[in-house]
Amino acid sequence: MATEAQGEEGGLVFHPMDQFIVKPLFGDGPVGLFTITNVTLWMALTVVAVVLLMVLGTSKRSTIPGRMQSVGELAYGFIYKMVEDVAGKDAVGFFPYIMTLFMFIVFANFLGLIPMSFTTTSHFAVTVLLALLVFVTVTVVGFVKNGAGFLGLFWVSSAPLALRPILAVIEIISYFVRPVSHSIRLAGNLMAGHAVIKVFAGFAAIAVVSPVSVLAITAMYGLEVLVSFIQAYVFTILTCVYLKDALHPSH
Amino acid sequence: MATETTAGTASTSTCVVDGSAVGMPQLCFDWWPNQIFWLIVTLVVIFFFLSRIALPRIAAVLAERQGTITNDLAAAEDLKAKAVEAEEAYNKALADARAQAQDIVNQTKAEIKAELDDATAKADAEIAAKAAEGEEKIAEIRANAMESVKDVAKDTAKELVSVMGGKADARSITAAINARMKG
């Protein structure tokens, strides 16, 4: 899909994956652990956006909120209610953690929609770490809160006895697949959308096709706006669901 | 999707050839440490800002707003009760005023009636007195008239008798006239 299209259609050049290249901001050296790269820049912008909305936006502490404060309170209420409803009342201690995940993902996704920007959440390195954080947290919390009783999550007591070992194998596999699907869902959605936009943009080089191409990009962009929010929402609500399993492992 | 995935052993140059990506940049493991490092930094910073500043502040604002709303609702309830009370008082005052007005009307009516009765009685008495007086006068006048008639009759009879050549004594004429007048 990526580079082989080059040259086959004459002047058309497709580089849909180039937007995901990590490169140093200053100079051309190799990307080391602490190198300041475009990843650093766009993550820093994410932090700036979160701070702008959640800290500066609420700095007036007005009883009748302004625009920014309303949005901040909306985000707060949205995630708080989600944690409370999905994971249960005893999970509100994890609210700041889940809020951090949601705010980071949602802002990274939306900043990635700015043309020429770099989408940090389209990288598996980022989403895998996020998913592993959730996985490790959930597993540790499950064992700390319930001890060995957490293993009851894999022993489906409502099923017939003969089926339980088979179900246990399935449950264990599905438990360990969680971080994989959790991370690939987010990065895959964003990467695919951005790459498709780039491919459509490549077709715009042909004058006859370019109006269709522009329309298609516009439509895809609208879809991507939806996907940006929905994927952040899905990631967060799945985190809540997994957390519920850790706190109340009984089926 | 990707035609070739670069293994972790490759250096930066194997992921990018001539400025464009080879395969999926997402699977270029050379970049992973860098991304993971900056992601951890980012998450820690966001977590710090949210948990230390933003979330407690928003929670406080929401709680305060809830308090304000509850207080305002209570105040509104209070004012409503007061309004109902005031309305009741007003209605009571209105009813009282009506009753009082009715009383005054009745009293005045009674007074006027009494006065009227009084005046009527007085007038009746006066009329009766006047009537009695009139009757008395009429009786007097009648008596006088009778006396005058008697005198005239006596005189006339005496004259008549004397003209006819007789001589009548006063007593017999009087007796004759009295008998005539009775008859």
Q: CB-based contact (8 Å) between A99 and chain B?
A: yes
Q: Which residue of B has its CA nearest to A120?
A: B35
Position A251 scores a pLDDT of 58
Position B11 scores a pLDDT of 41
Position B6 scores a pLDDT of 40
pLDDT for residue B151 is more than 80 = yes
Task: Provide ipTM, 2 decimals.
Answer: 0.87
Q: CB-based contact (8 Å) between A38 and chain B?
A: no
Expressed as residue numbers, the domain containing A118 is 5-247
pLDDT for residue B43 is more than 50 = yes
Q: CB-based contact (8 Å) between A71 and chain B?
A: no
Position A150 scores a pLDDT of 87
pLDDT in tens, B74-127: 999 999 999 999 999 999 999 999 999 999 999 999 999 999 999 999 999 999
Boundaries of every domain in chain B = 31-182
- Lookup: tokens for A203: 């077709």
Position A34 scores a pLDDT of 85
A208/A5 Cα distance (integer angstroms): 19
Position A249 scores a pLDDT of 80
> Which of B42, B68, B71 would you mutate first to test chain A, the one with the most A CBs within 10 A?
B42
Q: Residue B34: which of A32, A95, A122 has the nearest Cβ?
A: A32
Chain A contact set for B22 (CB, 8 A): 2-3
Give chain B's mean pLDDT: 85
Position A4 scores a pLDDT of 41
Position B163 scores a pLDDT of 81
Does B41 contact A43 at a Cβ distance shorter than 8 Å?
A: yes
Does B46 contact A103 at a Cβ distance shorter than 8 Å?
A: yes
Chain A contact set for B1 (CB, 8 A): 1
Position A119 scores a pLDDT of 92
Q: Residue A22: which of B2, B35, B62 has the nearest Cβ?
A: B35
Position B183 scores a pLDDT of 64
pLDDT for residue B160 is more than 60 = yes
pLDDT in tens, B3-39: 444 433 334 446 787 778 777 888 888 888 899 999 9
Q: How far is A113 from chain B (nearest CA, A)?
A: 18
> Which of A22, A119, A134 would you mutate first to test chain B, the one with the most B CBs within 10 A?
A22
Position B173 scores a pLDDT of 79
Position B164 scores a pLDDT of 80
Q: Note whether A244 and A88 are within 8 A (CB).
A: yes
Position A3 scores a pLDDT of 41
Q: Note whether A224 and A193 are within 8 A (CB).
A: yes
Q: Please, what is the Cα angle at B126 between B121 and B131, to 5 degrees?
A: 125
Q: Bridge partners of B21? A: B16
Does B50 contact A124 at a Cβ distance shorter than 8 Å?
A: no
Q: What is the 3-class SS of chain A, one letter each residue?
A: CCCCCCCCCCCCCCCCCHHHCCCECCCCCCCCCCCCEHHHHHHHHHHHHHHHHHHHCCCCCCCCCCHHHHHHHHHHHHHHHHHHHHHCHHHHHHHHHHHHHHHHHHHHHHHCCCCCCCCHHHCHHHHHHHHHHHHHHHHHHHHHHHHHHHHHHHCCCCCCCCCHHHHHHHHHHHHHHHHHHHHHHHHHHHHHHHHHHHHHHHHCCCCCCHHHHHHHHHHHHHHHHHHHHHHHHHHHHHHHHHHHHHHCCCC
A173/A138 Cα distance (integer angstroms): 16
CB contact residues (below 8 A), chain A span 140-169, against chain B: none
Q: Which amino acid is at B110?
A: A
Position A11 scores a pLDDT of 61
> Which of A26, A64, A70, A76 would you mutate first to test chain B, the one with the most B CBs within 10 A?
A76
pLDDT in tens, A93-139: 999 999 999 999 999 999 999 988 999 999 999 999 999 999 999 99
pTM of the model: 0.73
pLDDT means per 10 residues, chain A with 251 residues, are 43 79 82 86 94 90 87 94 92 94 96 92 94 94 88 84 90 93 93 91 86 93 95 95 88 58
